[in-house]
């Protein structure tokens, strides 16, 4: 039994290098190594088959394109969610601290918190001045 043709080995190596790009993306998504190896072997076998058989394997090209492009287009979290359905509990929505959009909470006055008479004045303060309008500026 002889060795395969050198062009076939070179073709398999080229497809293995090309398949490493989306495989790395899947690896970053947390996919298990067994699935990664199966994915990479599938891409290499489909690629070599499409090139070696030419006309008869033309229907495999769309599958090859989708298998190659999908991990590059989809976010790693999305890809991991597709491949790991039912294994992990869902992530909590809004994992960061929430925003308080309600009214401010004022402390309830206690028995020792009596207002001092005359502490509040109805006289205008420095922040209560009216803002100048267009009628307050002289015309040029």
Structural domain of 13? 6-83
pLDDT band at 43 (very low <50, low <70, confident <90, very high): very high
Q: Is residue 96 part of a domain?
A: no
Q: Is residue 26 part of a domain?
A: yes
Q: Is residue 78 part of a domain?
A: yes
Between 104 and 66, the higher pLDDT residue: 66
Give pLDDT, residue 64.
Answer: 87
Distances (CA, A) of 82 to 65, 77, 85: 18, 9, 6
Q: Is residue 18 part of a domain?
A: yes
Q: Is residue 45 part of a domain?
A: yes
Q: Is residue 115 part of a domain?
A: no
Domain count, the chain: 1
Query: HSE-up of 133 (CA within 13 Å, CB side)?
Result: 2
Q: Is residue 90 part of a domain?
A: no
Q: Is residue 22 part of a domain?
A: yes
pTM higher than the cut 0.75: no
Which H or E element spans position 9? helix 6-28
The per-residue pLDDT for range 66-94, each reduced to its tens digit, is 888 888 887 767 766 766 655 555 556 66
Q: Please tell me the distance from the alpha carbon of residue 62 to that of residue 55, in angstroms, as a whole number.
A: 14
22 φ, ψ to 5°? -70, -25
């Amino acid at each position: 039994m002889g060795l395969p043709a050198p062009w076939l080995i070179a073709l398999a190596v080229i497809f293995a290098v090309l398949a490493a790009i989306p495989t790395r993306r899947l690896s970053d998504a947390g996919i298990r190594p067994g699935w990664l190896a199966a994915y990479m072997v599938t891409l290499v076998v489909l690629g070599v088959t499409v090139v070696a058989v030419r006309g008869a394997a033309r229907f495999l090209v769309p599958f090859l394109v989708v298998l190659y492009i999908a991990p590059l287009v989809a976010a790693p979290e999305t890809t991991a969610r597709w491949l790991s359905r039912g294994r992990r509990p869902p992530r909590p929505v809004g994992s960061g601290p929430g925003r308080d959009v309600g009214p401010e909470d004022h402390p309830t006055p206690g028995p020792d918190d009596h207002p001092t008479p005359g502490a509040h004045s109805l006289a205008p303060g420095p922040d209560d001045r009216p803002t100048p309008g267009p009628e307050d500026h002289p015309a040029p």
